[in-house]
Amino acid sequence: MYASGVLLPVCEGRRWGYCDRGGRVRIPPKFAAASRFNEGAAVVAMEGRRGLIDDHGAWLIEPFLVDATELHSGRLAVVVRGRGWVYVDRAGHVTHAPTDRQRWAHAGPFLDGRARVVVDAPIGIQRPVGYLDLDGGWAIAPALTDGDDFADGLAAAKDGLGRWGFIDRRGAWVIAPRWAAARSFSDGLAPVADDDGAIRYLDPRGREVCRSPVAVPSIASADLPRFAEDRCPVPGPGGAIGYMDRHGAIAIPPHPRHVGGFAGGRARIHDADGRTGYIDATGAVVIPPRFGIAEDFLGGVARVVVDPRRPGKVGWIDRDGGWVWHPERTRRRRGRTTGRNAPGART
């Protein structure tokens, strides 16, 4: 999980700035777009270009970038006009770049000391995947046909025969490739799928800990559900989603209202009108569905939009549903979802 900062992006009059967890403006709204802070820095946009600011709003990298990821391990992947993807430090100095005969189609964040890079290739040729280290070179040369980000020292990777297994930070196979699909570890377990769609969960030694009660034939690696906070989504009849525990037992029965996995002790739910709220790890509704758009909790807060027709009206709530930042007002709303000033209510 990405670390979150103490400042939150908020919008006023189509311009973005930042408030603190008390709802006080710390960086006045002046940006065209703004991301969350990570490692004391955030990517923002001005006049069609991106740059990097510190938590006082001062420029670390002036806005000349075409694209940029979040800062991780002191590095961020950026697109520079005429060069494509490269990595820079927080001062904007290039730390990693492709060779003259190479171009990167995708460059991911540094996670667990490794960054996943997809090398560009002519149309019709498989794009190879490799991993960079923090020193500026290849930790794992780009020879894999696919791969996931590293977590807990391992990454799901796909060999030349189209089978998935798990490699260590040097690129050695720790769990031999034999699966039709796989994702990297989360919450200490990694999902893999057989050719018939049976989904199993492995420990770092490759031993099966539990399996999903429902097979999903031809499931893609990116769609494999993963554990988070001892809960894993399980598909049910008619598109319903339930949650199982690490023993493979159903902890929360399937329901058509359930959406996605757990984060910050909460999982999202929908009502019949498509509004979103949250349940806790027992399945109890703790924040009733009141939002047109709602994201997962991270660092104790979640970003929400009351009216989906006004996506710029962004608010932030705490785990109990109280306003940290109200989308219509600049001062903090202390109401809860069941109180007078509940999220979604006009005040």
Which of 211, 227, 243 is a domain's end point?
Answer: 227
* pLDDT surpasses 60 at 338: no
* pLDDT surpasses 60 at 97: yes
- SS3 for 251? strand
311 domain residue, yes or no: yes
Q: How confident is the model at residue 5 (pLDDT cuts 50, 70, 90)?
A: low
Query: Do residues 222 and 275 share a domain?
Result: no
* pLDDT score of 332: 41
Query: Do residues 222 and 260 share a domain?
Result: no
Contact 234, 252 (CB under 8 A): no
Averaged pLDDT, 57-63 = 97
DSSP 8-state class, residue 14 = T
pLDDT tens column, 113-135: 999 999 999 988 999 999 999 99
* pLDDT surpasses 80 at 337: no
Query: Do residues 258 and 337 share a domain?
Result: yes
Q: How confident is the model at residue 62 (pLDDT cuts 50, 70, 90)?
A: very high
pLDDT tens column, 258-289: 998 999 999 999 999 999 999 999 999 999 99
Query: Do residues 219 and 308 share a domain?
Result: no
* pLDDT surpasses 90 at 311: no
Give the count of domains, the chain.
2
Percent of the chain scoring above 70 in pLDDT: 93
58 domain residue, yes or no: no
Residue with tokens 């769990």: 175
Domain containing 161: what range? 145-227
Query: Do residues 258 and 331 share a domain?
Result: yes
Query: Do residues 197 and 273 share a domain?
Result: no
46 domain residue, yes or no: no
CATH number at residue 180: 2.40.10
DSSP string covering 32-58: SEE---BTTEEEEEETTEEEEEETTS-
222 domain residue, yes or no: yes
pLDDT averaged over every residue in the chain:
91
DSSP string covering 165-181: EEE-TTS-EEEEEEESE
Query: Do residues 265 and 212 share a domain?
Result: no
* pLDDT score of 191: 98
Report d(CA 301, CA 291) in Å as an integer: 15
Query: Do residues 214 and 264 share a domain?
Result: no
Query: Do residues 292 and 334 share a domain?
Result: yes
* pLDDT surpasses 50 at 137: yes
* pLDDT surpasses 60 at 344: no
Averaged pLDDT, 302-306 = 95
Report d(CA 144, CA 118) in Å as an integer: 10
264 domain residue, yes or no: yes
* pLDDT surpasses 80 at 1: no
280 domain residue, yes or no: yes
Contact 107, 114 (CB under 8 A): no
- AA identity, residue 158: K
Query: Do residues 183 and 269 share a domain?
Result: no
Averaged pLDDT, 203-213 = 96
* pLDDT surpasses 50 at 13: yes
41 domain residue, yes or no: no
Query: Do residues 299 and 345 share a domain?
Result: yes
Query: Do residues 211 and 268 share a domain?
Result: no
* pLDDT score of 236: 85
Averaged pLDDT, 293-321 = 92
* pLDDT surpasses 80 at 161: yes
95 domain residue, yes or no: no
Between 309 and 103, name the one with better pLDDT: 103
Q: How confident is the model at residue 237 (pLDDT cuts 50, 70, 90)?
A: confident
* pLDDT surpasses 60 at 330: no
For residue 95, CA distances in Å to 41, 44, 78, 101 come to 18, 21, 11, 18
* pLDDT score of 313: 86
* pLDDT surpasses 70 at 329: no
